[in-house]
């Protein structure tokens, strides 16, 4: 049965339009209460959010739905998505809920659900919730059984200490000058505190959220401001997070942007040297660069690819017993510490390598030269671009032209009406021609509202919008 509400990362949409309305949020919470049973005790739900204005509209609606079904609720306010996953386990809660649209603009919002183990709910359980939503609740709590609501005032402090525990014992960041861009998002308080408490001199950007400026010309998807600040401050490194702080992009001291592929290569080789790379392999998506794959082969490290989305990465990590996985866009999962992508924990692993080697970020963080890679996004208004015969002919032609020395990945975004066209190969001009041809076919097949631009990995700016 196909799902109507849940996408690749929970429920997402434009705030105050379906499905991101308080009415639907209320119904979703009641549906969860209807079908979610984890024993006979009174169930506990942890709700966190990022800094979007619409969070203040959706949070009370979710709370009312859970309370109606007899579930207690703990509100923790704006905190990173990985903090909610951690707190769900730490508080022995039955469910964790995050109100966030991650790297999307302020006008969007989303609902992400975590189980008691801190992992995102399975596709099967999300389908069960949709079924309950269609049927409506068969029961409600009696007046005496209604849930209670409280705020957890020290939630941020708990998460800060949790993150700091992932930094190697005995190491400090003393003497390091760090620029951290919090994207006016969920980590605007906790991220600068983590680095400062570990000894760094911290220069903070994106720490003045107003409900409307999250991810606006800042953060992991737009790291230019962070890059400039690194150069202006003569900092040792720049760290850019996205709106819910589950992804990370780095700038070295020269202002060179480094994506998730470079960071995963660094972390993987470090773990391997210490005999701590479980499964002897990294799990990454189809978007990760061929240069990463070749680098790993040269270091006797395996690479398992998955479909795009941190959910798919985590599922394969658990199936194969791997403790490291992630995406080119900067989602990095270190399962020795966390159950989902955590930008702060990943950043600390990078900083640990710099401190341990006493070398500059430019010497530590760029381990391979990416194969030329080009990503173009085509936003469409309606229709099914990938069902077009002309589009499929262009795709087949592109595969033939790239041959065995290149790759072509065409996919529809799971969170917005966008077709993502990615090609890579040794011949940069051929890669560009292939992408242009396919995008042209898409434009000719359906109504197009917007096209967004090129990102070429060889030039250090590939940051696939995964």
Which residues does the annotation mark as catalytic? 102
Q: Which two tokens stand for residue 31?
A: 């549906």
């Amino acid at each position: 049965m196909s799902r109507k509400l849940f996408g690749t990362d929970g429920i997402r949409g434009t705030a105050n339009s379906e499905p991101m309305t308080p009415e639907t949020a209320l119904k979703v919470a009641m549906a969860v209460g209807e079908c979610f049973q984890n024993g006979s005790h009174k169930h506990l739900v942890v709700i966190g959010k990022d800094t979007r204005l619409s969070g203040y509209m959706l949070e009370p609606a979710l709370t009312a739905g859970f309370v109606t079904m007899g579930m207690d609720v703990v509100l923790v306010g704006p905190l990173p998505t990985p903090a909610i996953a951690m707190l769900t386990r730490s508080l022995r809660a039955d469910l964790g809920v995050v109100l966030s649209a991650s790297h999307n603009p302020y006008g969007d919002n989303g609902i992400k659900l975590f189980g008691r183990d801190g992992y995102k709910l399975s596709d099967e359980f999300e389908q069960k919730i949709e079924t309950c939503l269609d049927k409506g609740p068969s029961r409600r709590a009696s007046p005496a059984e209604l849930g209670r609501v409280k705020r957890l005032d020290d939630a941020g402090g708990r998460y800060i200490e949790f993150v700091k525990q992932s930094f190697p014992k005995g190491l400090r960041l003393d003497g390091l000058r760090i620029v951290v861009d919090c994207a006016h998002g969920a980590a605007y308080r906790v991220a600068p505190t983590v680095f400062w408490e570990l000894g760094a001199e911290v220069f903070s950007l994106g720490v003045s959220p107003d409900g409307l400026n999250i991810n606006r010309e800042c953060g992991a998807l737009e790291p230019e401001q962070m890059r400039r600040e690194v150069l202006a401050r003569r900092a040792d490194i720049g760290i850019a997070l996205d709106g819910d702080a589950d992804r990370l992009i780095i700038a070295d001291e020269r202002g060179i942007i480094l994506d998730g592929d470079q960071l995963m290569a660094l972390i993987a080789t470090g773990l391997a040297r210490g005999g701590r790379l479980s499964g002897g392999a990294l799990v990454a998506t189809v978007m990760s660069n061929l240069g990463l794959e070749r680098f790993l082969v040269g270091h006797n490290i395996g690479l398992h690819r998955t479909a795009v989305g941190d959910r798919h990465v985590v599922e394969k990590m658990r199936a194969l017993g791997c403790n490291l996985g992630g995406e080119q866009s900067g989602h990095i999962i270190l399962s020795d510490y966390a159950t989902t992508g955590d930008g702060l924990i990943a950043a600390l692993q990078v900083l640990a390598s710099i401190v341990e080697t006493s070398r500059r970020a430019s010497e530590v963080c760029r381990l391979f030269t990416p194969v030329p890679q080009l990503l173009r996004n085509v936003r469409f208004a309606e229709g099914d671009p990938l069902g077009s015969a002309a589009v499929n002919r262009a795709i087949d032609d592109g595969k033939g032209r790239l041959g065995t020395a290149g790759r072509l990945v065409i996919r529809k975004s799971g969170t917005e009406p966008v077709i993502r066209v990615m090609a890579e190969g040794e011949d940069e001009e051929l890669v560009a021609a292939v992408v242009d041809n396919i995008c042209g076919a898409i434009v000719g097949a359906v109504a197009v509202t917007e096209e967004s631009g090129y990102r070429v990995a060889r030039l250090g700016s590939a940051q696939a919008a995964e």
